[in-house]
Amino acid sequence: MEVLMNYAPGFDPRPAALRLANAWARGAVLEGLPENERPRSIQDGYAVQIEVQRMLDEPLAGYKLGMSSVAGMRASGIGRPAWGFMTKPRVHRNTACLPAPPSGNILMELEVCFRLGDKVPAAGATPAQKLASVECAYVGFEIVSSRFADRLVHGVPSFLADDVGFCAYVIGDEIDRSDWLATFAAPAVINLDGERYCENAQAEARTDPVEALSLFIDEAASTGLPLRPGMLITTGNLVASKESPSKGFFAGRLASHCVGCTIE
Tens of pLDDT along the chain (264 residues)?
Answer: 456 566 667 899 999 999 999 999 999 999 999 999 999 999 999 999 999 999 999 999 999 999 999 999 999 999 999 999 999 999 999 999 999 999 999 999 999 999 999 998 889 999 999 999 999 999 999 999 999 988 778 899 999 999 999 999 999 999 999 999 999 999 999 999 999 999 999 999 999 999 999 999 999 999 999 999 999 999 999 999 999 999 999 999 999 999 999 999
Whether residue 11 is contained in a domain is answered as no
Whether residue 160 is contained in a domain is answered as yes
Whether residue 98 is contained in a domain is answered as yes
CB 30 within 8 A of CB 52: no
- Pairwise CA distance, residues 217 & 233, whole Å: 10
Helices vs strands, H then E, count in the chain: 7, 13
Whether residue 29 is contained in a domain is answered as no
Whether residue 153 is contained in a domain is answered as yes
Q: Residue type at 31?
A: E
Please, what's the b/e burial string for 231-252 (b: 16 or more CB within 10 A of its CB; e: otherwise)? bbbbbbbbbbeeeeebeeebbb
Q: Which 3 state secondary structure label does DSSP give 74?
A: helix
Its domain, for residue 242, covers 59-263
CATH of the domain at 97: 3.90.850.10
Whether residue 53 is contained in a domain is answered as no
Whether residue 238 is contained in a domain is answered as yes
Q: How many domains does the chain have?
A: 1
Decide: residue 127, CB within 10 A, 0-12 exposed, 13-18 middle, 19+ buried: middle
Q: Strands 134-144, 166-175: parallel, antiparallel or unpaired by DSSP?
A: antiparallel
pTM over 0.75: yes
Whether residue 14 is contained in a domain is answered as no
Of 180, 202, 204, 200, the closest CA to residue 191 belongs to 200
